[in-house]
């Protein structure tokens, strides 16, 4: 699904972006023509022409709550602060990396390295540019509610029936699911079924289970709003299948720096914390549109945003 985010309502507390500034300048510059009785073009048309001269920025992302939050914050800043129209495309992890390598996307802020997306980096790393981490301390694994008296993945076979023989996963192309497939083999969980689906389906199953205090194990990662909403913990992974703490990286295509230097500079500066990302995720979880949540967060965190701008 591809959407161009030009129709969202700008937060009334936000600072005026380039389009608003251009509109004001257009009115000021056109007033003398009006006084002289000359034909005056529509200020909106003048602004449209100026904005269209800015290259559209294509962002790819996976439909994880964390990446929805970060990608929409980045998109809002590129549109409102830097004046470029933005097109957002949500895809699975594999097509996201393939799109980056082919140049279909200009950038993504959703690369989990070095573990989760290791296979994609090995395949496509030579075709893209890594600007480094935009968030540190990320982690993946299997998660249970705190009331479940199981501490380690090694204990799951003894509790097959309590878990209904299922481990609730997300989209099948995710690196977390690849690691989960490996964990199924390493921990001899052949009697379990790894259920693929989506982030939304996984969190819905978790919510139902927690409401009834039923046993459940789900694929999980931090940052994610569910850790603020429920009392959860990671299961121990003594074989290290899910790796250590990692980071979420910003990836851009070759040539972006030359074609849109201000966008490249901003993406290079973009770095935030799990807590800051969590604030956006919770607003979205409370039924706010992602772009509205992003713009609300930007309006409330101008000091942080100013530090990212070139």
Copy the structure tokens of residue 141.
């694994």
Give residue 27's pLDDT.
55
DSSP annotation of 234: E
* Predicted structure pTM score: 0.73
Copy the structure tokens of residue 238.
């003594």
CA 25 from centre of chain: 34
Copy the structure tokens of residue 258.
């030359």
Give residue 228's pLDDT.
83
Count Cβ atoms below 10 Å from residue 276 Cβ, excluding itself.
18
Count Cβ atoms below 10 Å from residue 122 Cβ, excluding itself.
9
In contact, 61 and 67? CB cutoff 8 Å:
yes
Give residue 173's pLDDT.
85
Give residue 2's pLDDT.
31
Copy the structure tokens of residue 6.
């030009």
Cβ neighbors of 310 (< 8 A, separation 6 or more) are 261, 262, 265, 266, 269
Q: What is the pLDDT along the chain (310 residues), one digit of tens a residue?
A: 233 332 222 333 334 444 555 556 555 655 555 666 666 667 566 545 544 467 999 999 999 899 999 999 999 999 999 999 999 999 999 999 999 999 999 999 999 999 889 999 999 999 999 999 999 999 999 999 999 999 999 999 999 999 999 999 999 988 899 999 999 999 999 999 999 999 999 999 999 999 999 999 999 999 999 998 899 999 999 999 999 889 999 999 999 999 999 999 999 999 999 999 999 999 999 999 999 999 999 999 999 999 999 9
DSSP annotation of 104: S
Residue 142: beta bridge partners? Answer: 219
Give residue 48's pLDDT.
53
Query: Which domains does the chain show, CATH number per domain?
Result: 2-135+249-308 (3.40.190.10), 138-234 (3.40.190.100)
In contact, 150 and 159? CB cutoff 8 Å:
yes
């Amino acid at each position: 699904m591809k959407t161009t985010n030009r129709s969202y309502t700008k937060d009334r507390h936000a600072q005026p972006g380039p389009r608003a500034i251009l509109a004001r300048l257009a009115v000021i510059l056109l007033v003398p023509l009006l006084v002289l009785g000359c034909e005056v073009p529509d200020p909106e048309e003048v602004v449209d022409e100026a904005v269209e001269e800015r290259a559209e920025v294509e962002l790819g992302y996976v439909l994880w709550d964390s990446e929805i939050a970060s990608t929409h914050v980045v998109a809002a800043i590129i549109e409102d602060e830097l004046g470029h129209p933005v097109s957002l495309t949500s895809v699975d992890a594999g097509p996201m990396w393939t799109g980056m390598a082919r140049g279909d996307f200009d950038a993504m802020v959703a690369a989990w390295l070095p573990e989760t997306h290791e296979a994609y980096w090995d395949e496509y790393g030579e075709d893209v540019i890594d600007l480094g981490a935009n968030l540190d301390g990320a982690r993946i694994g299997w998660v249970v509610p705190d009331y479940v008296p199981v501490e380690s993945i090694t204990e799951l076979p003894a509790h097959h029936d309590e878990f209904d023989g299922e481990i609730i996963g997300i989209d099948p192309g995710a690196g977390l699911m690849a690691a989960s497939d490996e964990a199924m083999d390493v921990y001899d969980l052949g009697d379990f079924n790894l259920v693929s689906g989506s982030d939304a389906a996984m969190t819905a199953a978790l919510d139902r289970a927690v409401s009834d205090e039923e046993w459940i194990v789900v694929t999980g990662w931090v940052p994610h709003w569910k850790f603020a909403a429920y009392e959860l913990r990671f299961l121990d992974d003594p074989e290290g299948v899910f790796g250590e703490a990692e980071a979420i990286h910003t990836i851009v295509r070759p040539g972006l720096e030359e074609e849109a230097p201000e966008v490249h500079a901003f993406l290079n500066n973009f770095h935030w914390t799990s807590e800051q990302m969590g604030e956006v995720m919770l607003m979205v979880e409370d039924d706010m549109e992602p772009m509205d949540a992003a713009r609300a967060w930007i309006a409330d965190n101008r000091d942080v945003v100013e530090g990212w701008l070139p």
